Structure 1
Amino acid sequence: MPDIWPGLITAADLTVIDHLGIGCQYITEDDVSSDIVGVFDAQYQREDAGNPGIMSSTPMLFVRLADLPVDPEADQGHVVVNGVEYRVIEPEKDGQGGCRLILHNTKYL
């Protein structure tokens, strides 16, 4: 039986992005700008695995890695969402082609 899991994950990611995604810009550390679509969560809840019970809230943008112009782990990029610029502080790849970009508002850096 063929492994259908990767295709199902890709289809699910595309469906979520098609229905909930918004237009954004990814700006590489070399100032190359690309239009992308991602699902933005201004109050994404992160759990600190090293400290049970500790949670924090941070902006997050879920994207498909194939839509990014570069590997976010190898780039100190920025994203612009709803006119606000954020620095990517931590890319969290899901191993299935998706990535949560953990963000920090550049106004506060």
Structure 2
Amino acid sequence: MLKSKFCDGKSREERMPGWPMDGVPVKRQAGMIYWYSWGAHTFDIRVMRQALGLPEEHPADKWFMAEKPDACGSFSAVMSQLQEALGDRSFHDAMAEHDRLMDPDSDAPS
């Protein structure tokens, strides 16, 4: 069971079609650098990268600080990196690992 939910009413997705992972779009959280949503779940992209064996930081994370910000290009770069790192693994499994890393003391099944 996945534990990463957003129901605090404070988080909101950016308006975008998203990037489908396991048939559910991944979207950036508005005003956040590292937080994304996947359906009813939120995740920290740095922890997701850790779960997939990637470096935690990506140059596209701070796209908004560039001289010519490119929201779409940076989003595609981040999602392409995740998609490639997933390989044949499901995003659900990666999200379960993300949740385990976020709460290592939890003994709940994933």
Structure showing greater Rg: 1
TM-score by length of 1: 0.31
Looking at secondary structure, tell me which structure has more helix per residue.
2
Looking at secondary structure, tell me which structure has more strand per residue.
1
